[in-house]
């Protein structure tokens, strides 16, 4: 590092109090609420506050997380935490990626989404691999516009047919590396320690608490 490099900007600390989870996805709200519980944070969802869902116009997970966090913080006057996450399949060039929720259609049916992923892999042909990874970007925004973003990732493979009723989204078809069970089969408390969201959350908590 050169002598004239700018000093690192310190992270802003988040104290106990109310925090908006900028999501209408109840699975995400529950999971993030459980991760925040030990820190004295009282969570309320964007849905419970009747906050609108902003259009996700970003081209990366981080960009979409940031626009959702900014919108919720601005409208609520409270700090807001937004998550943008998705499944990236190597054989599909990284799809569904940032469009993971859209593959579930207007009804948000992830059974439909998982079938669409499986059908797309089969169209690639027998040489298609089943490697995939989950990405999670977490953005924490204060009402004054200060924002911090952290990203996590977990690699794995895709199982078919889906297995397990725990979790949400694509969990029932994703087997993390080194495991034999899908995210839909493992205990939620275990997933909270090993998921892509847990990876991002560990970075966030190390910085802001």
Least Cα distance to 96 among 186, 173, 187, 206 occurs for 173
Give the rounded distance of the alpha carbon of 43 from its chain centre. Answer: 17
Residue 200: its H or E element: helix 196-208
Instruction: Give 16's contacts (C-beta < 8 A, 6+ positions apart).
Output: 39, 40, 41, 42
Task: Give dist(CA 113, CA 127) in Å, integer.
Answer: 22
Helix (H, G, I), strand (E, B), or coil: what is residue 58?
Answer: coil
Catalytic residue among 3, 4, 50, 84: 84
Residue with tokens 């529950």: 30
The reply to whether 84 belongs to the active site is yes
Inter-residue contact 81 to 73 (CB < 8 Å)? no
Which residues does the annotation mark as catalytic?
84
């Amino acid at each position: 590092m050169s002598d004239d490099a700018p000093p690192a900007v310190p992270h802003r600390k988040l104290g106990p109090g109310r925090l908006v989870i900028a999501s209408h996805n109840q699975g995400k709200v529950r999971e993030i609420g459980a991760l925040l519980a030990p820190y004295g944070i009282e969570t309320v969802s964007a849905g419970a506050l009747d906050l609108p869902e902003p259009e996700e116009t970003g081209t990366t997970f981080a960009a979409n997380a940031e626009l959702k966090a900014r919108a919720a913080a601005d409208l609520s006057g409270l700090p807001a935490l937004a998550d943008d996450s998705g499944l990236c399949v190597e054989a599909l060039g990284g799809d569904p990626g940032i469009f993971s929720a859209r593959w579930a259609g207007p009804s948000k049916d992830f059974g439909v989404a998982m079938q669409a992923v499986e059908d797309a892999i089969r169209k690639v042909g027998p040489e298609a691999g089943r490697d995939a990874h989950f990405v999670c970007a977490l953005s924490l925004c204060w009402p004054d516009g200060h924002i911090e973003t952290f990203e996590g990732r977990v690699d794995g493979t895709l199982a078919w047919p889906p297995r397990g009723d725990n979790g949400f989204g694509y969990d029932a078809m994703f087997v993390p590396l080194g495991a034999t069970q899908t995210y839909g089969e493992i205990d939620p408390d275990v997933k909270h320690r090993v998921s892509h969201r847990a990876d991002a959350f560990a970075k966030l908590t190390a910085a802001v608490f």
